[in-house]
Amino acid sequence: MKIKDYYQQTKPVVSFEFFPPKKEAAIDTIYQTLEELKGIKPDFISVTYGAAGSRADNKTLELASMIKKEYGIEPLHHLSCIANTNEEIQQLLADIKAGGVENVLALRGDLPADSETCSSDFLYAKDLIASIKENTDFSVGAACYPEGHIDQLAGVENIEHLKAKEDAGADFFISQLFFENDVFYRLMEDARNGQVSAPISAGVMPILSRGQVEKMIFMCGTSLPSELIKIIHKYEHSIEDLRKAGLEYSLKQIEDLLDHGVDGVHVYAMNRPVVAKEAMSLLRGS
């Protein structure tokens, strides 16, 4: 089933994000998480793309195919384009199709360290989206940024880029994580005022450690509300207490998002069964 169809049939659409473990043994964590979700399936699970987009080393397709074949959950295969030629992208799409996956999240990806010498047929995610739509029948999702992309200073550019992705063929959007729901609600208002009509899922990530938060701030430009800063300060020396408080905070976010009737909720589950299970229980009311 195409993910775009879920947004026409279900509200809210419930989804999770997993990533292929770097160590083979760690794949058991994902199996455990999926087993716990058997009785209360999310609508889809997105799988992040490996470094440099290597066909040989990347485990994204292997995991995405397993999610569909073994668990009957629709997968969303992340695909970044900044360091790939058109020929390489078309081969990757053929591999994804052969693996039984019908949905792709089209991303620009992070610029390589040697970006000055980086050659690519795709400069932006909108270019990749247009190519996928022109050459395949994939359902295509795209990213959106409640606080703007880390490379953007002007807020108006954020909505212009969102509209460009939709015009290129994006069927739905998944937001980058945020910690203050009003930020997402402003994005939704600006998007609709900017004639962006595609459904948008709200991205929520539980805080698991202080280091995780610091990384998100500098990599994504995500801001922290005072309540969350106080939680991190209070529990920074107790890992388990911080994880518990961080999960409780994200569940409060989800509850408020549901009350506001959002199109979907996308949980960055960090491959942790407890995160997926607790969020799923709230989202499905079980």
Cite the active site residues: 17
Per-residue tokens: 101 = 């996956």
Residue-by-residue DSSP string for 74-128: EEEEEEE-TT--HHHHHHHHHHHHHTT--EEEEE--PPPTTGGG---S-SSHHHH
Cβ-in-10-Å burial (0-12, 13-18, 19+) of 56 comes to exposed
Per-residue tokens: 20 = 């292929």
Residue positions counted in the chain? 286
Cis bond before residue 12 (omega within 30° of 0): yes
Sign of CA dihedral 155, 211, 178, 198: positive
Number of C-beta neighbours around residue 198 at 10 A: 20
174 φ, ψ to 5°? -120, 130
Residue appearing with tokens 């807020």: 155
The whole-angstrom separation of Cα 46 and Cα 78 is: 7
Cis bond before residue 199 (omega within 30° of 0): no
